[in-house]
A and B are shown apart, each in its own frame.
Chain A
């Protein structure tokens, strides 16, 4: 049973690595913003899985706050790229 969690965590970390490579390489600011958005969603899911593995209820709140802050950050970045700020 525990190996399932480790395997899912390994898959997610491969995804995080690929998105982080795009975040560093990405030719324009838009590519970097898209990579940041994807990284936020994958890491929220990873935090929820860590909350189950370590059996800590408080990590779910951490995941929720991290998701809200990442969402607001991406919205502000998009408005700035649009030229509205």
Chain B
């Protein structure tokens, strides 16, 4: 039984390391603030949760308190990472740095339509 837990933990740790590397690479390579948020936040959320769970699985037969603390960390990452990335994207939009990607009529900006619709409803 202990070998099964060791294999699960090692595989989870390798997946986590690979996805954390991809998160750093996305931060370095992507052209725009919003693309960087996408790459960095999603990849590091999956990678961090997987690696921490892997460490918990490796220690689960020795000392089960490691697994409890690892679950606390996983839940904290699942809460904090989307909140901080949402706050950053909102702040950059409020500073009028719009996305770089173009479509047929100018910059690709789906949020602008939502904002104008909300203003129209407020006027009514």
> Chain B interface (Cβ within 8 Å of chain A)?
6, 10, 13-14, 16-18, 20-25, 27-28, 33, 36-37, 40-41, 44-45, 47-48, 51-52, 55, 58-59, 63, 65-66, 69-70, 72-73, 76-77, 80-81, 83-85, 87-88, 90-92, 94-95, 97
Is A34 within 8 A of B24, CB to CB?
no
Which of B10, B36, B55, B90 lies in contact with A78, CB distance below 8 A? B90
Q: Which of B24, B59, B69, B70 has the most CB of A within 10 A?
A: B24
Could you jot down 11 A-B contacts, CB within 8 Å?
A7-B17, A18-B27, A21-B28, A34-B40, A41-B77, A42-B47, A44-B48, A45-B44, A63-B73, A74-B84, A78-B90
> Contact between B24 and A38 (Cβ–Cβ < 8 Å)?
yes
Helix, strand, loop or mixed for chain B's interface? helix
B70 to chain A, nearest CB (A): 7
Shortest Cβ distance from A36 into chain B, in angstroms?
10
> How many contacts A-B (CB < 8 Å)?
160
Bound complex: CA of A34 vs CA of B43, how far in Å?
Answer: 13
What residues of chain B lie closer than 8 Å to A7, measured between beta carbons?
14, 17
A12 to B97, CA, bound (A): 30
